[in-house]
């Protein structure tokens, strides 16, 4: 997505997903089969801890303006706050003649096409992904204009080139795109995709590059100036869904679409009404909010006031808080015993198996800095998060022992502190067994309620007894006049077939089939 909020070497699992690409001649629709990957706990932690940059950017939304062509200084740079680490849906394109294949996220929240360049020599990420080789293409045209895109959890820089881009059986001629020569963030090392194909408006295109979608329309390659997403949310089905260029497939939806006009070109932004929990108004958007339909964001992001109400209603708690409490529950007594035995505090967590290194994780740092470090852990693994939770617990317990507190008091005190730890990327977990008691939630769009059940807004990570359940909602505050703002990502778009009508400048939603 462009903005949001809106995803290891331990996660590496670098299963690049090469989707089915096909089209049918009878309806003249161009269909891009999407591959879907299941999230596992290490993917989840990669998304959460891969970079503290994302959290810093979230906290200073008002300071970030768009790097594209929007002129209003109050415009929020959604692209700069984007985290693709937990993205689940990918498609395949080709660049050049003959086509060189790349796995990309089709992202309605940004507008540029970029892939790694063979001229990327000093970024590890480029060695884990397909790279574009201009010398291998008969249709390459040099451009050379520099380009830079800052995301919430990393950045890419490089230069513009031109070549033919194959999407399904469409060939877009002379498409300007970015050859990324620097991908310094670990985010792109761990990513399951090679690049991004933006489907937003030219107004937010870095370098004012004409988006791929515009050229599809301008070159007469599609039947209608419409594209549509059907995301398959059935966890048992490996087929991820379809992106259809040139129209929509009636088999992908039920009933009629509700259309709302695009209120601000740049993102696919529209007006949204009240948000309801269990059919009761939250009041926050009763006078109206803005929303963005964003295929590049996995979760649904909204104002903190509403997200807090949602998480309270569904019993969600901070993910890091839960991990901290797990450490206290499983290892609290042992840690206290080790500290009483005068074991070196910095080595306690490694000695009980939660940390790999002896005292190199920063136990002596202030608690605030340890929490911040969680947001930027390089490996993003489950072990890293448990290690950080252990280190914090050791600091707290040692301080209480120095005050001659009892073990019972210390464990209770540390549990209370666990409750106050913020989740670095704003995500919250819940007890998977509590789904039947959770309320439905509803979005008001075009005067109609679009309802999500708990099974639809809860993201399940992992399988069986080891499965974790996450709230599909995350907090993101955009100040007026751009906000309050919702980002409707895959959690929403998976339940409602979404039509992006470029010809009539509107977005449509209908129940997904």
Could you list the active site residues? 107, 294
CA distances from 322 to 49, 202, 437 (A): 15, 43, 20
CA–CA separation, 237 and 232 (whole Å): 8
CA–CA separation, 136 and 118 (whole Å): 11
CA distances from 388 to 241, 350, 362, 487 (A): 38, 11, 9, 30
Which value, to the nearest 10 degrees, does the dihedral of the CA atoms of residues 266, 268, 269, 274 take? -160
Q: 471, 73, 108, 446: which is closest to 274 by C-alpha?
A: 446
- Residue pair 301/428 in contact (Cβ under 8 Å)? The answer is no
Q: Tell me the helices (H) and strands (E) count for the chain, helix number first.
A: 13, 27
Q: 181, 154, 179: which is closest to 84 by C-alpha?
A: 154
Name the E strands within 188-284. 195-198, 226-231, 239-245, 253-261, 269-272, 275-277, 280-281
CA–CA separation, 435 and 458 (whole Å): 8
| Residue 416 zone, left/alpha/beta (φ > 0; ψ -120 to 50; rest) | alpha
Burial of 212 per CB tally in 10 Å (0-12, 13-18, 19+): buried
């Amino acid at each position: 997505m462009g903005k949001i909020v809106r995803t290891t070497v331990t996660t590496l699992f670098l299963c690049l997903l090469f989707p089915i690409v096909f089209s049918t001649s009878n309806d003249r629709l161009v269909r891009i089969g999407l591959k879907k990957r299941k999230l596992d706990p290490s993917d989840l932690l990669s998304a959460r801890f891969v970079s503290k940059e994302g959290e810093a950017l979230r906290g200073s939304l008002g300071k970030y303006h768009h790097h594209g062509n929007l002129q209003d200084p109050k415009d929020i740079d959604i692209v700069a706050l984007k985290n693709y680490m937990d993205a689940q849906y990918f498609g395949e394109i080709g660049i050049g003649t003959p086509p060189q294949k790349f796995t990309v996220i089709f992202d309605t929240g940004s507008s540029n096409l970029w892939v790694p360049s063979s001229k990327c020599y000093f970024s590890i990420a480029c060695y884990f992904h397909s790279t574009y080789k201009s010398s291998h293409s008969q249709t390459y045209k040099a451009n050379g204009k520099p380009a830079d895109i800052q995301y919430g959890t990393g950045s890419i820089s490089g230069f513009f080139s031109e070549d033919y881009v194959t999407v399904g059986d469409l060939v877009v001629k002379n498409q300007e795109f970015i050859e990324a020569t620097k991908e310094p963030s670990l985010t792109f090392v761990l990513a399951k995709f090679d690049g991004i194909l933006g489907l937003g408006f030219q107004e937010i295109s870095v370098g004012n590059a004409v988006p791929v979608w515009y050229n599809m329309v301008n070159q007469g390659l599609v039947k209608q100036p419409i594209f549509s997403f059907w995301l398959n949310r059935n966890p048992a089905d490996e087929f991820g869904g379809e992106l259809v260029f040139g129209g929509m497939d009636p088999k992908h939806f039920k009933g009629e679409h509700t259309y709302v006009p695009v209120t601000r070109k740049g993102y696919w932004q529209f007006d949204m009404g009240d948000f309801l929990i269990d059919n009761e108004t939250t009041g926050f958007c009763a006078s109206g909010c803005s929303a963005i339909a964003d295929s590049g964001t996995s979760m649904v992001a909204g104002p903190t006031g509403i997200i807090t109400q949602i998480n309270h209603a569904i019993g969600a708690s901070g993910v890091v808080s839960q991990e901290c409490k797990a450490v206290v529950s499983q290892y609290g007594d042992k840690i206290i015993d080790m500290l009483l035995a005068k074991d070196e505090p910095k080595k306690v967590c490694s000695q009980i198996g939660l940390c790999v290194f002896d005292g190199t994780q920063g136990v002596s740092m202030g608690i605030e800095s340890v929490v911040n470090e969680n947001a930027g852990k390089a490996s993003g693994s489950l072990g890293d998060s448990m290690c950080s939770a252990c280190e914090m617990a050791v600091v707290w317990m040692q301080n209480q022992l120095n005050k001659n507190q009892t073990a019972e008091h210390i464990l209770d005190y540390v549990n209370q502190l666990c409750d106050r730890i913020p989740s670095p990327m704003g995500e919250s977990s819940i007890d998977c067994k509590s789904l039947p008691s959770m309320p439905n939630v509803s979005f008001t769009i075009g005067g109609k309620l679009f309802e999500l059940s708990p099974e639809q807004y809860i993201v399940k990570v992992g399988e069986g007894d080891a499965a974790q359940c996450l709230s599909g909602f995350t907090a993101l505050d955009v100040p007026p006049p751009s906000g309050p703002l919702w980002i409707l990502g895959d959690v929403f778009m998976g339940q409602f077939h979404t039509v992006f009508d470029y010809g009539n400048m509107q977005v449509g939603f209908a129940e997904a089939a």
